[in-house]
Structure 1
């Protein structure tokens, strides 16, 4: 049962193969088994590839099953269309397009399985890329907010500097009227005289201005700090909103690119393995000697080809003969008086009818 199934997978003519030896049947059963298991690997690879895209197990399995059937049908077609001619060069030329197709299929099958085999290494590469993307994303978003935040910080610094300047003036006046009271500066008279009072009033007035300036600038600084906090909040919100896009940066294309950043040799050997699996039925058929199945298939095909050629030639001769007979018949009829008289009578009647119809038409117009 299993052997018969693999023979069907090989694409060979089961009716002819059943008349061949067991060895010939086993050869084609082996070719069919290779075709079947290649399709199984294609099913696994296709399912995994689609799962990395949509994260849906059932859709991935359905797609993988369809993909496996497609690869199975292609491989079966490739193997079944290679005919043994007895000439190695002719057979290789005949098989070259099929070998190219087999290479393409091997690449398509091997790539998703490479992604699964090197999944841990690929995840490490993707993690590094995600970290780089996160930093780059934060820097790009910061460029939208930093100029405004810097301007607002400059405004706060200017307001604080204004207070500091006013405090320095107040402190200077304080030192002045204290020195006047102690007699160490100004009039150098000890005690609180008129000059002291004048300097004290000037200090107190400037101190009141300082208190008012502090209150006003404090309100402005708090409002500016609120704007800065709002901008920083908007920055964090935008970073949070864009981060899921970076976190989901692990699709099929991203994984293929990450695989390309890994050492190429292990991946190349895996590709060679699948290439060998995919092309093995072709080379097995090319390298094997011409067997009983090939001779019987060739005999059946050439017999049919000969029969078709004979039928075609016979129809051509029959057509040529029919043309010659018709020519002779019409040549004999050409000189027959009775046929001439009959046709002359009918032509005369037809012309009379045409003349009558024309006369009636012209009469109606008048």
Structure 2
């Protein structure tokens, strides 16, 4: 039962194999087993690759099975269409397009399994790339808010500087009226005279202005700091909104790119393994000697080719003979006087009818 299934997988003609030895049956069962297990590996690889895309187990299994059936059909077709010839190089030339197709299939099959085998290393590469993308994203978003924040901070510094300047002015007026009272400057008279009172009033007025300026600028600074806080909140919101996109940067293309950043030698050996598996049915078919199955298949195909050629030749002879007979028959008829007189009479009647019809038409126009 299992042997018959593997023979079916090999694409061999079971009717011909029935009349062959058990060795021939075993050979084609082995080729069919290779085709079957290659399709199984393709199903696993395709399911995993599609799982990284859809992130759904049932969808991945469904499309993975379709992919496996497609590979099975291609391999079965490739093996079944290779015919044994007298010259090995003729067979190799015949199989070269199929070997190229097998190489392409091996690449497609091996890549998803490479991603699964090196999953931890790929995750490490993706983590580093995500961290780098996160930093770049924050820097790019900061460029949108930094100019506005810097302008607001500059406004705060300006308001603070106004207070400092006013404080310096008030301190200077304070030193002036104190020096006047002590007789160290101004009139140099000790005591609180009219000049002292004038300078004291000027200081008190400036002190009141300083107090008002501090209150006003403090309110302005609070308002500006509130704007800076709002911008900081918007910046954090933008970062939070864009972070899921970066966190989701682990699709099929991202993983293939990360795989290509790993050392190439392990991936190359895995590719060679799948290439060997994929091309093994073809290589086995090429290296195996011509057996009873190949001879009987060639005989059957030769018989069909001969029968088709014979039928075509008979049809060509039939057409040629029929044409010659028809030519002789019509040549004999053309020489009969009775047929000539009959056609002449019919032609005269036809021309009379045409003349009558033309006359009636012209008369109607007039």
Q: Tell me the CA shift for residue 318 of structure 1.
A: 0.9
State the partner residue of 1:319.
Answer: 319
Are residues 1:3 and 2:3 paired? yes
What is the distance in 2 between the residues matched to 1:289 and 1:130? 56
Identify the residue that residue 244 of structure 1 maps to in structure 2: 244
Correspondence 1:352 to 2:349: no
**Pairwise CA distance, 1:83:** 0.4
Partners of 1:283 and 1:354 lie apart in 2 by 81
Name the CA distance, whole Å, in 2 between partners of 1:37 and 1:255: 26
**Deviations, residues 269-328 of structure 1 (Å, cap 9, x unaligned):** 000000000000000000010011000000000000011001101111111111111111
1:135 aligned partner: 135
Query: Equivalents in 2 of 1:3, 1:182: separation in Å?
Result: 123
Tell me the CA shift for residue 364 of structure 1: 1.4
CA distance in 2, matches of 1:365, 1:173: 129
SS in 2 for 1:20: coil
What residue is the counterpart of 1:342 in the other structure?
342
Q: Paired residue for 1:169?
A: 169
Secondary structure of 2:157's aligned partner: helix
TM-superposed deviation, 1:191: 2.3
Q: Deviations over 1:53-101 (max 9, x none)?
A: 1111111111111111111100000000100012111000000000000
Match of 1:190 in 2: 190
Shift of 1:359: 1.6
Give the Cα separation in 2 of the matches to 1:256 and 1:319. 65
Displacement of 1:200 in angstroms is 0.9
Higher deviation after alignment, 138-147 or 349-358: 349-358
Counterpart for residue 82 of structure 1: 82
After superposition, the C-alpha distances for 1:29-66 in whole angstroms (9 at most, x for unaligned) are 01101111111111111111111111111111111111
What is the CA distance between 1:190 and its match in structure 2? 2.9
Q: Which moved more, 1:171-180 or 1:320-329?
A: 171-180
Q: Relative to structure 2, which stretch is displaced further, 187-196 or 90-99?
A: 187-196
Structure 2: runs of 5+ lacking an equivalent: none
1:49-60 → structure 2 map (5 Å cutoff):
49-60=49-60
Q: State the alpha-carbon separation in 2 of the partners of residues 86 and 115 from structure 1.
A: 43
CA distance in 2, matches of 1:5, 1:355: 83
Q: Which residue of 2 aligns with 1:362?
A: 362
Structure 1 residue 184, shift from structure 2 partner: 3.4
Secondary structure of 1:218 counterpart:
helix
Which residue of structure 2 aligns with residue 297 of structure 1? Answer: 297
Indicate whether 1:271 and 2:268 are aligned.
no
Counterpart of 1:41 in structure 2 is 41
In the TM superposition, 1:99-178 aligns within 5 A as: 99-178=99-178
Aligned partners of 2:133, 2:97: CA distance in 1, in Å? 43
Q: Does 2:29 correspond to 1:20?
A: no
Cα deviation digits, residues 96-146 of structure 1 (max 9, x gap): 000000000000000011111111100000000000000001101111110
TM-score of the pair, normalised by structure 1 = 0.98
Matches within 5 A, 1:213-252: 213-252=213-252
- The alpha carbon displacement at 1:194 in A equals 1.7
Tell me the CA shift for residue 178 of structure 1. 2.1
Q: What CA distance in whole angstroms lies between the structure 2 residues aligned with 1:279 and 1:44?
A: 18
Report the Cα distance in structure 1 between the residues aligned to 2:335 and 2:212, rounded to whole angstroms: 138
Distance, in Å, in 2 between the alignment partners of 1:39 and 1:172 is: 94
Question: 1:233, CA displacement in angstroms?
Answer: 1.1
Q: Which residue of 2 aligns with 1:200?
A: 200
Instruction: State the distance in 1 between where 2:11 and 2:361 align.
Output: 75
Ranges in structure 1 where 5+ consecutive residues have no aligned partner: none
Q: Distance in 1 between matches of 2:132 and 2:249?
A: 12
Aligned to 2:96: 96
C-alpha distance in structure 2 between counterparts of 1:263 and 1:58, whole Å:
33
TM superposition shift of 1:195: 2.0
